[in-house]
């Protein structure tokens, strides 16, 4: 696995985030409510597994590409929320 980069949800993803993942990331970010108490938003981590990009949110949500190259979001089964 190759480590990519990190950024805060709701912020513009770094240029290193592939365009194909951006729609999935933006869709997930749109579901995260603003915290009225001022808590920080979760952060994304971009990694590469077997040459394929994967974006994982601190909450355990993962955005990856399906076999057609479309962004799909899912919960990490090991995070205890799935």
pLDDT in tens, 2-26: 557 999 999 999 998 999 999 999 9
Question: Would you state the pLDDT for residue 82?
Answer: 45
Question: Would you state the pLDDT for residue 13?
Answer: 94
Q: Mapping DSSP to helix (H, G, I), strand (E, B) and coil, where does residue 29 land?
A: helix
Mean pLDDT of 19-39: 90
Looking only at the bridges linking them, the beta strands covering 43-49 and 52-57 are antiparallel
**Which range is least confidently modeled, 25-29, 37-41, 70-74?**
37-41
Instruction: Check residues 39 and 72 and name the one with the higher pLDDT.
Output: 72
Question: Would you state the pLDDT for residue 34?
Answer: 80
Between the alpha carbon of residue 77 and those of residues 14, 40, 56, 59, the distances in Å are 27, 24, 12, 12
Instruction: Give the separation between CA 52 and CA 29, rounded to whole angstroms.
Output: 21
């Amino acid at each position: 696995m190759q480590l990519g980069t990190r950024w805060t949800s709701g912020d513009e993803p770094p240029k290193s985030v592939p365009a194909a993942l951006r729609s999935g990331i933006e869709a997930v970010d749109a579901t995260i409510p603003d915290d009225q108490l001022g808590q920080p938003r979760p952060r994304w981590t971009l990694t590469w597994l077997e040459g394929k990009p994967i974006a994982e949110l601190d909450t355990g949500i993962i955005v990856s590409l399906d076999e057609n190259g479309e962004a799909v979001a899912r919960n990490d089964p090991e995070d205890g929320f799935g």
